Amino acid sequence: MNRKFRWGIIGLGKIARKFAADLALVPGAQLHAVAATDLERARSFAADFGAARAFGAYLDLAQCDDLDAVYIATPHHLHHDATLMCLEKGIPVLCEKPLALNSAQVRTMVDSARRHRTFLMEALWTLFVPAFEYALERIRQGDIGQVLGVHADFGFRLPRDPASRLFNPDMGGGALLDIGIYPALLAHSVLGVPQRIQASGAFGPTGVDETCVFTLLYPHQAIATGHATVSGHTPVEARILGSSGAIYLHSRWHHPQRVTLSQYREKEVIEQTVELPYEGWGYHFEIAHVMQCIQEGLLESPRAPWQLSLDLMETLDQIGAHMRQNVL
């Protein structure tokens, strides 16, 4: 491509601003068009980030015939429809996590990408952060032996606000889909699809899960645990425990810049901490990856493939069902 790669963004909230800022860090990338539900806000966002075109309706952006990819950053409940709208126009899509509200929707989205021969990836940005990649590579190389446990938390305190998407059940609110997805992603990345799932949840007055805890059970007695909450701050750390060592992903582990590898020797533990700092928010790694996939003519990412999104959402579906049966 001898011109810049033209991105569009649908839904101009908090994450869209960070994404647009990081896009400027990616060589060859350009923010071309943005769409909000309000034209004035779209114009203001376009002015802030140098986009040439601004629309007051998502459908108008999907009519653009000069986009190379669209990033969908609406609340969860709109991911499905916005993605289908773009895929049907043949526009490649990077859609925020969770890819949809449930696995039935994810299957429809993947089927659409396949049918329209158009790229689709869930924005699982963690997978592309160098310190996270480094940790996974050490595990693959057998540096901690056989994995026995994967433990991660993700919590922050949000004042209960029924108007916020996080507390609104109609918008897919709740801790599990918004942040519980990260511990589940870590478990899937290290151990794959669980054999059995146990979970409990604490539900608030608006009906969404404000806290969820889950255990994923694997063959050979390996387990993964996750704790996500919007009721209080947690350390946001992750540990992967193996038969001959451990990996600690320092806070905030879902986009780490520091990893400590411990290896158990006969009489001592050898520790090595690796620093892999980066500039920006950390979204530029996934942006560059998506551009490369599309330029190579791929329909899905080899590192965040459709099957991963399907498996992950099936796990979240099951955790959700268990949570509702085991209310804390």
Ligand X SMILES: NC(=O)c1ccc[n+]([C@@H]2O[C@H](COP(=O)([O-])OP(=O)(O)OC[C@H]3O[C@@H](n4cnc5c(N)ncnc54)[C@H](OP(=O)(O)O)[C@@H]3O)[C@@H](O)[C@H]2O)c1
| Binding residues for ligand X (CB under 6 A) | 11-16, 36-38, 41, 73-76, 78, 96-97, 123, 125, 165, 178
Q: Which amino acid is at 226?
A: G
Residue placing its CB nearer to ligand X in the complex, 129 or 147: 129
b or e along 252-270 (b: 16 or more beta carbons within 10 Å of the residue's beta carbon)? bbbbbbebebbbeeeeeee
Angstrom distance (rounded) from CA 171 to CA 191: 30
Residue placing its CB nearer to ligand X in the complex, 11 or 256: 11
Residue placing its CB nearer to ligand X in the complex, 46 or 123: 123
Tell me which residue of 150, 149, 145 sits closest to 264, measured CA to CA: 145
Q: How far is the CB of 219 from ligand X (least distance, A)?
A: 31
Angstrom distance (rounded) from CA 318 to CA 315: 5
Residue placing its CB nearer to ligand X in the complex, 123 or 291: 123
Residue placing its CB nearer to ligand X in the complex, 134 or 156: 156
Q: How far is the CB of 130 from ligand X (least distance, A)?
A: 16
Q: How far is the CB of 11 from ligand X (least distance, A)?
A: 4
Q: How far is the CB of 267 from ligand X (least distance, A)?
A: 42
Q: Judging by DSSP bridges, how do beta strands 238-242 and 147-155 pair with one another?
A: antiparallel
Q: Hey, what are 202's tokens?
A: 């604490």
Residue least distant from ligand X (Cβ): 13
Q: How far is the CB of 224 from ligand X (least distance, A)?
A: 21
Q: Hey, what are 248's tokens?
A: 């600690």
Q: What is the DSSP letter of 222?
A: -
